[in-house]
Structure 1
């Protein structure tokens, strides 16, 4: 699956299932008609390709959280392994060095940013024009004022996740300018945000 499919699905369905344990793979597939993609946050170098193929064979693009893949080092070999063998639609990382290296290899990259305080937001705001990632994921999602401000100035799409437990939380994040929301709460995966 490629980045164009991922972006179109994010625009249409608005909900990304963050899968943190293998026991939730089937549940994500059961809700695939409401999901944009899967944010895969489980697996090892022995299982990750199988998981990615499983979702993508069912029409769900995978955003692979590379820091959560057991046994994977995101050096030159790790990036080549992801690009040539695993083939997710995108990767997500918090590390600038990984973003730069992955982009140089043609991977679609989502930068995860934790808004732990105003200083982090101010730094992000100041450096937004120099962002190297293709998309930003803001954590937590329950900071609508900051999501709105960032969405207004970001040259790349903004998605958001973390602390989503009610439909109102998702809708507030989307109303604040997020392209889509991510959640590991399987009850939220049933929420139909199509064309919201």
Structure 2
């Protein structure tokens, strides 16, 4: 919690410990993002997203689930679309999704490929107000530097030394 970032991503929480974790983060002035696919005991439907916003006081969500992101957007939550770069087809498909359902940010994984593709993605999404984040296999400081040098505004990593 001593990290400089204003955001904390909770990725291994469950509905039983979520309220306590969010409370601790908010007490330290951090905004809380929840990784929906990794939230135990949770269903990312409209009622579930509303519960995250109104009961748990979540600030935003990260997901590859487009329906869940739409619900979150309607609730006024920060939305981050998670894009896994597998091949050029997945890249093109993800760009098309973003054009039709713009999130607040896009997390592109894995980070090494994200650095190589950011210029192409940015060019295809010109005119869209989207923040780019890189994640996946971010374990060393040199990669963090490479990510920011490439033009990303943030990273996701489970490596505490890089927070």
Common fold by TM > 0.5: yes
Match of 2:143 in 1: 169
1:54 equivalent among 4, 24, 34 = 24
Match of 2:73 in 1: 103
**How far off is 1:152 after superposition?**
4.1
- The answer to whether the Cα contact below 8 Å between 2:110 and 2:136 also exists between their aligned partners in 1 is yes
Deviations 1:34-76 (A, max 9, x none): 3332110122111111111111211121111122111111122
1:1-196 paired onto structure 2 within 5 Å: 29=1, 31-32=2-3, 34-143=4-113, 144-154=115-125, 155=128, 156-189=130-163
Q: How many residues align?
A: 159
**How far off is 1:177 after superposition?**
1.6
CA distance in 2, matches of 1:126, 1:84: 31
CA distance in 2, matches of 1:174, 1:148: 13
CA distance in 2, matches of 1:59, 1:91: 18
Q: 1:69 to 1:126 in 2, by over 3 A?
A: closer
In structure 1, stretches of 5+ residues that fail to align are: 1-28, 190-196
**How far off is 1:121 after superposition?**
1.0
SS of aligned partner of 1:102: helix
How does the TM-score come out when normalised to structure 1?
0.75
Q: 1:153 to 1:176 in 2, by over 3 A?
A: farther
Two-structure CA RMSD over aligned residues (Å): 1.6
Larger relative contact order (CA 8 Å, sep ≥ 6): 1
**How far off is 1:122 after superposition?**
1.9
CA distance in 2, matches of 1:103, 1:41: 20
SS of aligned partner of 1:142: helix
- The answer to whether the Cα contact below 8 Å between 1:36 and 1:61 also exists between their aligned partners in 2 is yes
**How far off is 1:97 after superposition?**
1.1
